[in-house]
Chains A and B, each alone.
Chain A
């Protein structure tokens, strides 16, 4: 919008004076009172405000473009792509097994969901879904549920921080650290694990892991009520959250929003119940819903889901039976167990001794499997898991080669973020932060 220049503006900005050196613009003080009066009279207080991409309350490199009339947001748009790293393209140049190393970095707060969804798709393509050992599946479920805890803890922690509730932030990251310690114990890394592999897991649980997880569940059961005490009934907290970021069921389905956003609109849609994978139909847990359609409902759902996750983790621990954690097919499973060596985690020395010293064929097989990888029959498959943010879908296409032909991630953050405009327009600027926090977008997943 370009309003026609008023006389006041014309006098404040005199035309250029031509000299031998070029045009010279003289800017003088002018009569700003006149300009201010004219601006006030024009009744055009519309402002376009850019929030981000570097802004502490936009959850990473998210750029919000807000059109503001006074304190009211009249239009809201997202600018994304600042964290695009071309993971889907990169996957096409690595083996199927190496793929997990990439996908774990997509939504970096839900690495085990990315890995599991990818591996489920690859296993579907291979036709070995039924052959994945029970122990591997149970450990996958356990890690996913622990991951749901850590992801929801970050959502609640950062969401609280953006409201100025820094205590929630401290609590959330304190408890998330406990989960990360478990990851480190089990996979060796706090993030970017690449622990779940097509056909099973990279390695078995280390000694003592079960006890540590049990101790964590016990501790977490004590810590979780603190969030209720601190926030759930807190009138200030409720005042900021209730009725904010409203999106009803029709809006959710139209914008494709899933996860806590959909469940806060009252629909108990959870892929773990409706389209069970990894044996979720055998676990006893509930799908919490709310009918408030707002940020507060999503907060309550996340809290309740953490309680349910603890239940599932306990059931996983109870049904862990000794056994293999990788499919028996030696054309898919890497032959070596890993062991901690002087230069980090690597193939066990026993295995190296065997292939270097006694079995030429084993050496060749190992070399071919690791460098070339296994072939996946041509076709396409779609596997979806219920990540903490919603439906995480993987569309994997194989051309029969040793590398993925195409892998597309339907990341819930990407889809849910589209609902931002519907949630924010017509509301206050300060509520934009609350609404975006309730979507819980992670830009690593949005941009991939």
Chain B
């Protein structure tokens, strides 16, 4: 192997990214999940960037523009600047996502629920996602809001850094989020400020740590199957 073919040199032997657009959230190196040992596979130099769909520009298409217009208009009526409230708007796979700055979440939720042109009456709860490599935005809280009046579904996404995992609670707007926010706290350590009783809901009250964060191990023991040792699930080969 000549020096030119050194797999560790940047830009060499790297498969082209299928798509260089979008927001970079992580960079993965190597393959097979091998870490801390010599690179015997020859794949150690692989670099893969993880990019989630980035901000879309208008027109968003369909009723998405109408909802975005109404939301921006309603925010302006309340004396807010939409550009500071809405971080970005993403249209991907026929779904509309508003990324909201976390301090404005309650006012946005109330607007989405109460504005007659929006009327997202039903919140389907909050789902948290942990992106440990997305610095400053490690923890995401994702809300899916359904409008029964207009028969629409949108997604509202809020992020918080690991160092300050606080997000305002929307329980006073959507009481249904009571348990959902407790669940997100239980599994991700997201603190929902203003929640009436933010306690663990699934795990025992004295549990240490937040199990669904990416740095929390799955656990498990190796098992024997037909004479061979099968490692625990989180120790098995992975294709990063």
Contact = CB atoms under 8 A, between A and B. Distances in A.
Given A124-B93, A256-B124, A267 B148 contact: yes
A94 B22 CA distance: 26
B240 interface: yes
B155 A382 contact: yes
B166 interface: no
B: contact size bracket: 35 or more
Interface stretch (A15-23, A203-211, A302-310, A404-412): A404-412
The residue in A84, A269, A391, A403 that gathers the most chain B C-beta atoms within 10 A of its C-beta is A84
A125 interface: yes
B63 interface: no
B125 A256 contact: yes
A393 B212 contact: no
A89 B203 CA distance: 13
Nearest to B127: A408
A310 B38 CA distance: 61
Contacts of B144: 382, 393, 395, 410
Contact of A93 (B25, B151, B175, B234): B234
A378 B22 contact: yes
Contact of A399 (B50, B153, B204): B50
A153 interface: no
Nearest to B184: A408
A382 B218 contact: no
A394 to B, nearest CB: 9
Contacts of B98: none
B124 A401 contact: no
Contacts of A372: 239
B129 interface: yes
Contact of A274 (B142, B151, B201): B151
Contacts of B129: 380, 397, 405-406
Given A379-B52, A406-B129, A415-B179, A399 B124 contact: no
A402 to B, nearest CB: 5
A378 B142 contact: no
B48 interface: yes
A175 interface: no
B50 A378 contact: yes
Given A81-B203, A254-B175, A275 B125 contact: no
Interface residues of A, number: 51
B216 to A, nearest CB: 8
Interface in A370-387: 372-373, 377-382, 384
A92 B217 CA distance: 11
B121 interface: yes
A414 interface: yes
A90 interface: yes
A253 B148 CA distance: 10
Contact of B179 (A84, A90, A253, A414): A414
Contacts of A399: 25-26, 50, 52
A86 B240 CA distance: 22
A300 to B, nearest CB: 22
B202 A80 contact: yes
B51 A378 contact: yes
A14 interface: no
Contacts of A415: 124-125, 176, 179-180
The residue in A90, A377, A382 that gathers the most chain B C-beta atoms within 10 A of its C-beta is A382
Interface string A84-110: 101011101110000000000000000
Interface in A403-448: 403, 405-406, 408, 410, 414-415, 417-418, 447-448
Nearest to B32: A372
Contacts of A164: none
A255 interface: yes
Contact of A84 (B48, B124, B130, B202): B202
A400 interface: yes
A378 B134 CA distance: 15
Contacts of A379: 52-53, 92-93
B230 interface: no
Contacts of A410: 124-125, 127, 144
B66 interface: no
Interface in B19-41: 22, 25-26
Interface string B118-156: 000111110111100000000000101010100101010
8 contacts: A86-B218, A372-B239, A378-B53, A379-B92, A406-B129, A408-B128, A410-B124, A410-B127
Given A275-B151, A448-B202, 16 more contacts: A80-B201, A81-B202, A92-B218, A253-B121, A253-B122, A253-B148, A256-B176, A258-B122, A274-B148, A377-B18, A380-B92, A393-B144, A395-B142, A400-B48, A401-B239, A415-B179
